[in-house]
Chains A and B, each alone.
Chain A
């Protein structure tokens, strides 16, 4: 049976590029003006948090590594949450791997990497995320040999913040997706397709968020082979997990993003245990197949 999707009756959708991906916003048709709230939020977060804009707050922080620096929102909040995520995962989620990414060739926006990126040795480091200090009033001390990359968690938190802003404006329901990491507002269910290695399932998502980490995307070549963007902090190289894709359902897009990345880096056995410990729902894919952890939102169609 062939089914198609159109914008649900009574809603409007808009797509725009931001934070290195395509953002999709769906709101009630009579609330179309509120899409501007979301696009403005994403524009601001990208301007402040991009690793590739020299004038961003994040680049300024990284450039000031080694001396205390005042940091404002939203960078301060995202950095605080990222460090909390690092603690919660014992550093498997590590927001201080920007220098590793750059050394491995991901030193420009992904679309600018081209056919072959220049790779150089990953620089030595004595410090880690443990050594990042957040003082009162937004004073941040970043060790001199660290640089921060907030890519995934910033995107997830931007989705959460966008929905919070819509809710504050009394928008009754909405869906915001940033490159496939998405969350919903309101009580109505949304049909969402979730890709896996061996199929695709359509879920009815009525609450919370879905985020996906995958080693199949954001790959590039260097003289030393193919790279991807999910760095294992234990090796400081692209993760060699047996998992190729993990999608997590969590209360927030931030949590889903952190959990998906952590589970993927940990690999199937530890990744499953990690999700179970935190009572999270996940779909984990190896090249040979997929399996779920936890109680997934209602499935309406898809592979079995």
Chain B
């Protein structure tokens, strides 16, 4: 008996380590193959491609990018937006760092594309061809998204690193990545958009997805940028930041290409009617129910909410915060009179808030401004002073004497238990933008009032379409009165862009591509209003006199870490 015990024990001693108990490994994680084959989940992979589209409503510390232009500033004193506007940024803390986000998005589009191609998919009630079409469309969505992410890189950095396929961790290309020229990048975006447009539907039932027009608009805007002054500087020798040795003919051809592409977007047909149309009401456009919004082309779509109102309402209408991004006095002065004639205010004079561009009330909150159901707000100091008054509550009250009224839905009411929610889709490209870009390109290519290509729309007509929707009467509009030279015509288009696209991230890049950067270094002005027993006195104040623009700021710095790790990546000039 004992002998057996010995024997068994010894055998056990050497068997135990021989058994492998290690086979129990996790089996419940998601493999892409499994997830993308499932009817219920295959779309998630496609959906994820959209997750990196940026939301301009909270770009930098909750402030709009436009707060770093002469259109406005932000009430948060230590917000990074001020550092951006005042030039306190560098490659190590670039502030406007979209490098990471864009490339994460680009990788996701490659990842989705790879698995859409590789994985076998069976869908209920669908033929093999249906599935192939679904896959094709999914891949086309990825191309369009990649074009969007790449355009974002282009407008920030100039030439960027083109990643053309999914990279495994062991990919040798990791060591040789470098930036492509501006020209190559433009061509890459155009190719992506052209390819995507082939497979994308004109109108998607699922609002918010990439459509044919989306791809076409990204392409058109890219071409417009490519034709712009910044990228066609004479004597430029750095291919990363624009064309080298651009001739006048090259430039003209670029404007023509842009005009053609923009025209295609304007005239994109959904059946018999145009796919895109201007929304009837400028103010309501930004809170429109998605399926009734035919003006947005490229945008950030998200669920309903009221965070924007909470942040942007004047403090008396918000709960705990308020303020945020606020317009400047020079922006207020930029609005024309109601008849379209230029508004001028003598230095130090009191501003006029009535009889202005119809969009003024929809964009700017001022002393005595009507917030619809939320009543009237006052920014004056002294008698009847509220927290909305200039500098009343640190970080929340206005510092310019104005509030941003645009985008806000004044049915949102924070004084009741359920304040309500509204749509806040942030537009990157909408039809009004396309029309104004078209006007710009046409003027540059062919002249303000000619249409030699037979597009059916002159620059002037495109401009007027936007102004008519804004509430101007085309018959009586004084806007173009006496405007005859090309430069003056272009200036009118630029001015219209400033008002129409205010706080939509247009001006930050427009001023750069037009090379009108003097405006980026002008001090930000505000208006102090004192109320002494009903007597209002107006004092113009300087809110920020440290605005800076330097040559290098045309382009954002590539994050320093990236350069330090891969010296082959060339930094932008001056950084």
A-B interaction:
no
Residues on B lying within 8 angstroms of A by beta carbon are none
